[in-house]
Amino acid sequence: MGDILTGQRIYQLANGKYSEDLSVLDIEMPGTLTDASSFDTNNYTIAISGTTDTTVTATRKAANSAAGAYVLTMTLESNGAITRSCTPVSGKADICSTLSAEWIKKDAVSSTPENG
């Protein structure tokens, strides 16, 4: 998902908006492109939407996960802010709690000023 957001940032700098077409982003996607805005991997279906703010949605396939199905959503806003969410669909809801805690830790580390 991070590579897609990076590709969207680059595209937005060059074009003044985000793309809803994965094929124009300068990234290599694992899996099979199912249409211009989505692709499938063994474990996820990933889709993008939006040209002012862009949203990447990854839906975990329950058959391939002990945690069950869940949906990860990352939105890159026009001002550069990123919001994230995790929604359990079936199975254990604790996967979303674990992911949210990891995001909070990562955000805290990335916002800490460097010494020196």
User: What is the arithmetic mean of pLDDT over 16-24?
Assistant: 91
pLDDT band (50, 70, 90) for residue 90? confident
CB 47 within 8 A of CB 37: yes
The Cα 16–Cα 33 span in angstroms is 25
pTM here is 0.75
User: Distance between CA atoms of 48 and 4, rounded to whole angstroms?
Assistant: 9
Whether the per-residue pLDDT at 11 is higher than 90: the answer is: yes
Tokens 């939006």 -> residue? 50
Environment class of residue 93 by beta-carbon count within 10 Å: exposed (0-12), middle (13-18) or buried (19+)?
Answer: middle
Using only the alpha carbons of the chain, give its radius of gyration: 15
Average pLDDT over residues 21-36: 86
Mean pLDDT of 53-60: 89
For the segment 78-98, the average pLDDT, to the nearest whole number, is: 81
Write down the domain spans for the chain: 2-110
